[in-house]
Chains A and B, each alone.
Chain A
Amino acid sequence: MSGGEVTMRVITYAEAIREAMSQEMRRDEKVFLMGEDIGVYGGAFGVSQGMVREFGSARVRETPISETAFVGAAVGAAVIGMRPIAELMFSDFMSVCWDQIMNQAAKAHFMHGGAVQVPMVIRAASGGGTGAAAEHSQSLENLFCHIPGLKVVIPSTPFDAKGLLVSAIRDNNPVIFLEQKKLYKTTGIVPEKEYVIPLGMADVKRDGKDVSLITYGRMVQMCAEAADKLDAEGISCEIVDLRTLAPLDIGTILSSVKKTRRCVVVQEAPLFSGFGAEIAAQIADSEAFFYLDAPIKRVGGSDSPVPFSAPLEQAAFPTPARIEAQIRATL
């Protein structure tokens, strides 16, 4: 980007996602959006607001409450060369169309010997903190990461959301694009002009020298709060935002860990069998292990369904204080 011509504005995460979709739909007529209540209503979280006015109801295509049908339809349209974006109101709803995701979307390319491609995106609101209780608050990313053939993206900022979504739409694979609900209204500087952030590239959100915080999604904010507090005491945290979980940018993680010699992995999802375990395992299984001055610590959500009541919900998720405690445990 050449400085002078680029218009930068402060917009929300939801607006950044809308802008990515709109710009791609203007650029490529094969791109279209499907989902429940995405037309005049603008989507459950308002992400597609106004889009039907510009693109019409054929390309901002409202669906019946029928996730298997429209996610499956996204697969079929993608195989024929379209680039559908399917919006699932909540990532929890993947349970009712899981076969279409896990089998039809993820395996068609491989099982046809490479002769078929499935260039589609499933966007879904993910994670907790909104008082939506156990079945509208899950962080299911690890399920998707465990299915070869799927790419999994979780942006933490408006800037990343736009650039990553453009890449996801242009990617020739099914991409699960998870949008943390609490981030929709967060703001950040985003260029108006289109740009891409390649999938599979982590981003060092904060440089540090004493401990690496490996995280993604809403937890990037939590880690930043913990890091701010420790900074005042002279403890310097590096924050690695994974942005894409699959494929994973293990190189950036290992470089950071080798530099700081300490590591805390932070995820919103339940701790047990979570994505953080994969990161810890990959670090332990690499030469970076020999650089470690302390055991790898993990912070995650409670191994319980997400509770409703506000104080209970707070107890269920990592907080800056809990992250801070684990950082201190490595020092």
Chain B
Amino acid sequence: MADIQGILDNKEFMAGIMENLMLVRKFEEQVYALYEQGKLHGTTHLGVGEEATGVGSCFALKPQDCVLTSHRGHGQTLAKGADPKDMMAEILGKEAGTNRGRGGSLHIASPGNHVFGTGGIIGASCPVACGMALAFKMCEERDRVAAVFFGDGATSEGAVHEAFNLAAVWQLPVLFICTNNGYAMSTPLRKAVNDMDLTKRAIPFGIRSYEVDGNDVLSVYATVSEARQYVVSRQRPAFIVEHTYRTSGHSKSDVNRYRTREEIAEWYEKNPVSRFSKVLLANGFSQEEIDGIDAKSTGLIAEAVAYAETCPYPAATTEELNAEAYAK
């Protein structure tokens, strides 16, 4: 088990976690604001309420680890080290964006930080993660894992089950991370699966599974750290279910017909950012210090938007786009 007291005493680390949680929250709120202002081309899937899953998980990874994001991947990408400026430029469709304006919110990535954007199909990154882990194995990179994020809805996809099987039979260092926010778009988990205990999905494949309160960032960090240690030392996959809740809508089109205001309000009370600020206060941080972190992250996001808005849009003729379809 991770040394929780050691973590609580590590002020710099605790501040880093808080800064990332706030950065992710403010990033999502800012993207929503841009959408409200009509500045967002296309749609976006925000993860307000799920900040601890991306931050806690990615803090437990090493720089060389690969992350394959879910469709709600802004937080995962930020926490793995992407620059919010580059990400905001991508969201606004600019050439300076992480994907040069070719991907947008859904496919946002940061290859320099080994973050690969999700494709358009839920769960489809799981087989791809197996291939990355296979490459690590074949190249004898023993301290490197592929961490793939997906939601509870994806656990019904065949690709996920095939990937579980392949990772298990080939003993691949894959961290399968399911952020269970209770809804696949509007479909509650109970309507999608017969047994709501998603950890059981790993049993037939002989994959070790973990379960954690996904709104408790330190527990997420500790659990993923432990799972990562298991994966690299045993060279086997692991499955982690992180229970959380998305207080933001699924995407731009969501008017929350499938859940009550009360339910959202109740979960907002349990949101990981407020919750972690209480942990900080109980462990030697002052309110001023927390306000300072808040102000810093607010500043970083404001800077990111200001930068992204001044960046030029990409330009390309049809012929140039045609040429881009292939790598040289």
A residues with a Cβ closer than 8 A to B are: 32, 58-59, 63-64, 66, 68-82, 84, 99-100, 103-104, 107-119, 148-149, 151, 172-173, 247
B55 within 8 A of A: no
C-alpha gap A89/B328 in the complex (Å) = 29
In-complex Cβ contact of A64 among B109, B112, B169 (8 A): B169
- A78 near B131 with CB under 8 A, answer yes
Q: A73-B128, A84-B131 are in contact. Are A68 and B119 (CB under 8 A)?
A: no
Question: Smallest CB-CB separation from A106: which chain B residue?
Answer: B325
In-complex Cβ contact of B327 among A76, A109, A148 (8 A): A109
C-alpha gap A118/B131 in the complex (Å) = 12
- A117 near B134 with CB under 8 A, answer no
Residues of A within 8 A of B136 (CB): 80
Pick 29 A–B contacts, CB within 8 A, sort by A: A32-B138, A59-B138, A63-B166, A68-B162, A69-B165, A72-B126, A72-B131, A73-B128, A73-B134, A73-B166, A76-B130, A77-B131, A77-B132, A78-B131, A80-B135, A82-B135, A99-B124, A100-B128, A103-B119, A103-B124, A104-B125, A110-B102, A110-B325, A112-B107, A112-B116, A113-B100, A114-B102, A149-B326, A172-B328
Most chain A beta carbons < 10 A, residue from B66, B128, B133, B324: B128
- A64 near B126 with CB under 8 A, answer no
What's the minimum C-beta distance from B55 to chain A, rounded to whole angstroms?
Answer: 23
B182 within 8 A of A: no
In-complex Cβ contact of B138 among A58, A78, A100, A107 (8 A): A58
- B124 near A80 with CB under 8 A, answer no
C-alpha gap A186/B45 in the complex (Å) = 54
Q: A66-B165, A68-B162 are in contact. Are A76 and B109 (CB under 8 A)?
A: no
In-complex Cβ contact of A113 among B99, B132, B165 (8 A): B99
Residues of B within 8 A of A103 (CB): 119-121, 124
What's the minimum C-beta distance from B124 to chain A, rounded to whole angstroms?
Answer: 5
- A79 near B325 with CB under 8 A, answer no
- A114 near B138 with CB under 8 A, answer no
- A111 near B107 with CB under 8 A, answer yes
C-alpha gap A149/B327 in the complex (Å) = 8
C-alpha gap A299/B41 in the complex (Å) = 45
CB contacts under 8 Å to A, within B97-126, are: 97-103, 107, 109, 111-112, 116-117, 119-121, 124-126
- A172 near B327 with CB under 8 A, answer yes
Residues of A within 8 A of B325 (CB): 109-110, 148-149
- A76 near B166 with CB under 8 A, answer no
C-alpha gap A70/B162 in the complex (Å) = 9
